[in-house]
Amino acid sequence: MNKIIKMAQVGNVDQNADCVIVIEPSENGNEILLESLVKAQYGDAIIASAQDELKKYDITNAKLTITDRGAIDCVLRARLEAVIKRGMGV
Amino acid sequence: MATKVVSNLKEAIELAKVTDGMSISFHHHLRNGDHVLNMVMDELAAMGVKNLTVNASAVFDVHAPLIDHIKNGVVTKLCVNYMSKGIGTHICKGIMDTPVEFRSHGQRPADIENGRTPIDVAFIAAPTSDTMGNCTGKMGKSRFGSIGYAMADAMNAKTVIVITDNLVEYPLTCASITEDYVDYVVAVDEIGDPNGIMSGTTAQTRDPVRLRMAQTAVKCIEASGLLKDGMSFQTGAGGATMAAAMYLKDVMLEKGVVGSYIVGGISTASVDLQKAGCFRALQDVQSFDLGAAADLLENPNHIEVSGRRYSSSIGKSSCMNNLDVAMLGATEIDVDFNVNVHTDSNGIIMGGSGGHTDIAEICNMAVVIAPLFRNRLPIVLDHVTTVSTKGENIDVLITESGIAVNPRRQDLKEKFIAAGLNVKDIHELKAMAEKICGVPQPAPKGDKIVGEVFGHWGEHVDYIYSVPDKE
């Protein structure tokens, strides 16, 4: 099992079609907070991608805060991968 | 010497005898820099007038104080052609009992004239006026160029009040609205904030997606057979449509084609085309930037037209009757080519038809330019959130990944294919976007009607519904 050991951040705050993701260690298992321009249309899909990426890296102690401005799934997953690795200290 | 100048706004309103239940009107050439609507509404609220209908050609975020006037019962009905999101968000919460009436730029003057939406008192924001009410938008520190949308108000309202921040001696020799329509003139310090009225210059887009769509648009015009002497053209202020004007200039100069006119909101890009000899004239109902406003004053081939002459069905003809090609925008388009420019994908009001509906209804080739998706939201849907312009009037959709032609226009489709253009079925474009973005879930819709959309002929087109509060 891999651990998130520190806080990390990726992404662009002021850019449409991108997102900002903050990761930090959590004591209550994985938690995902989502704010998105397209929450009604893609909220479930974004959460599913986040859970999927956490699972891929075998992470169970991450608090993810995603502020999405309409990133397509491949962008979102690239950001997730980067933030998870940074949080793991890789 | 006679004068219509009164000492202040309050006096003008008292003389005009604005009472409960009346209909008052405003025009939007000062856009998000407008001070006039707010100063008039604050005065009316202070005087205790209630139950007013506000008929404004457009309302912008700067008009946010309107929300309190609605909540306090000063305003109980709105008629607009466009509403920005800051106001639309409140309207979509269902704060009004009467739905907002949305018209096109052409239908607004028609309904004012035919008595469907009569105006009791019109407030005309004028960057320059003389003491008898001869006024214009072409000069003065708050100049905005064409005052076209206010002309129906001036000609049909029972009482007309001109509000200016540049009062000049009688007679003003270049008046756009003339004294025979005006009752009172009020001088104030500032009718608007120049920073909100217009952008100084409109920067050319560098976005490769937009540039590609613009190039494709010009290829479509060429392939359509409409690119010949006498062609007329309409373009909006968006990045892709402006870029299309730039590419069109190159092609027209290369081929030596001289078009007849550009109509609509006129920008510096339109002025450049006319100055380069590509078009003989500019017909201007609204000047988008300072370059266009300056040219309107100086250039005899750049003419100011009223909203009625621009695109109304009530006149004997309009600038639309001879219009060949128009470049239009879209927030959403559906597989039947219906276009939404009123609401965003969550159903929140953030726009309006403006001229969109009029243009599409009449012009020979109505082209919508829009990227395949924006911020993950596919542009092509099964059903648009709100129908602004009916699909039967849209001929072509241009995206960066292909061109869809309305099945009603087989003639165009054949010409585009013969020219080697990348023609696709509109369902195919939808599928391409969904492959990248995923299929969007529909946004929750409220059950209160908060707006009604009317078309070019005044017909009902669609309703706009409230948006439920977020959890």
Domain containing A61 equals 8-88
- Look at residue A1 in the predicted model and tell me its pLDDT: 83
Q: A9 to chain B, minimum CA–CA distance in Å?
A: 21
Rounded Cα distance, B380 and B258, in Å: 35
pLDDT tens digits, one per residue of A19-67: 999 999 999 999 999 999 999 999 999 999 999 999 999 999 999 999 9
- Look at residue B326 in the predicted model and tell me its pLDDT: 96
Return the DSSP state at B144.
Answer: -
**Domain total for chain B?**
2
Report yes or no: B232 and B324 within 8 Å, Cβ to Cβ. Answer: yes
Return the DSSP state at B180.
Answer: G
Rounded Cα distance, B44 and B184, in Å: 17
Residue B77 lies in a domain: no
The answer to whether the CB atoms of A38 and B376 lie below 8 A apart is yes
ipTM: 0.94
The CATH number assigned to the domain holding A57 equals 3.30.230.10
Residue A2 lies in a domain: no
Interchain contact B346–A (C-beta under 8 A): yes
Measured between beta carbons, the chain A residues lying within 8 angstroms of B438 are: 42, 45, 73
Identify the domain boundary among B176, B197, B218.
B197
Residue B458 lies in a domain: no
- Look at residue B135 in the predicted model and tell me its pLDDT: 98
- Across the interface, of B345, B436, B441, the residue whose CB is closest to A72 is B436
**Domain total for chain A?**
1
- Look at residue B240 in the predicted model and tell me its pLDDT: 83
pLDDT tens digits, one per residue of B63-112: 999 999 999 999 999 999 999 999 999 999 999 999 999 999 999 999 99
Chain B contact probe: residue of A16, A34, A35, A38 with most B CBs at under 10 A: A38
Statement to judge: residues B229 and B364 lie in one domain: yes
Residue B223 lies in a domain: yes
Q: How many CA atoms lie within 13 A of B412 on its CB side?
A: 25
How far, CA to CA in Å, does B334 sit from each of A5, B109, B289, B339, B389? 48, 29, 32, 7, 11
Residue B87 lies in a domain: no
Residue B457 lies in a domain: no
Chain A residue with CA closest to B443: the answer is: A40
The answer to whether the CB atoms of B376 and A16 lie below 8 A apart is no
Q: A63 to chain B, minimum CA–CA distance in Å?
A: 21
Residue B165 lies in a domain: yes
Statement to judge: residues B114 and B244 lie in one domain: no
Give the E-state strand segments of B183-231 in sequence order: 184-187
pLDDT tens digits, one per residue of B5-28: 999 999 999 999 999 999 999 999
Residue A52 lies in a domain: yes
User: Which parts of chain B have pLDDT scores under 50?
Assistant: none
Statement to judge: residues B338 and B412 lie in one domain: yes
Residue with structure tokens 């470049």? Answer: B327
In total, chain B counts a number of residues equal to: 471
Residue A45 lies in a domain: yes
The CATH number assigned to the domain holding B227 equals 3.40.1080.10
First to last CA, chain B: 65
Statement to judge: residues B46 and B174 lie in one domain: yes
Statement to judge: residues B18 and B140 lie in one domain: yes
Structure tokens at B81: 């052609």
- Across the interface, of B374, B376, B444, the residue whose CB is closest to A42 is B376
Chain A residue with CA closest to B468: the answer is: A40
Measured between beta carbons, the chain B residues lying within 8 angstroms of A73 are: 436-438
Neighbours of B321 (CB within 10 A): 12
- Look at residue B37 in the predicted model and tell me its pLDDT: 98
Look at residue B219 and give its three-state secondary structure.
helix
Domain containing B109 equals 5-57+105-197
Identify the domain boundary among B151, B169, B197.
B197
- Look at residue B349 in the predicted model and tell me its pLDDT: 98
Residue B461 lies in a domain: no
pLDDT tens digits, one per residue of A64-80: 999 999 999 999 999 99
Tell me the one-letter amino acid at B65. Answer: P
DSSP code string of B48-111: T--SEEEEES-B-GGGTHHHHHHHTTSEEEEEES-B-HHHHHHHTTT--SSPEEE-BTTHHHHH
Q: B124 to chain A, minimum CA–CA distance in Å?
A: 38
Residue with structure tokens 């104030």? Answer: B188
Non-local CB neighbours of B101 within 8 Å, separated by 6+ positions: B77, B78, B79, B80, B117, B451, B452, B454
Residue B203 lies in a domain: no
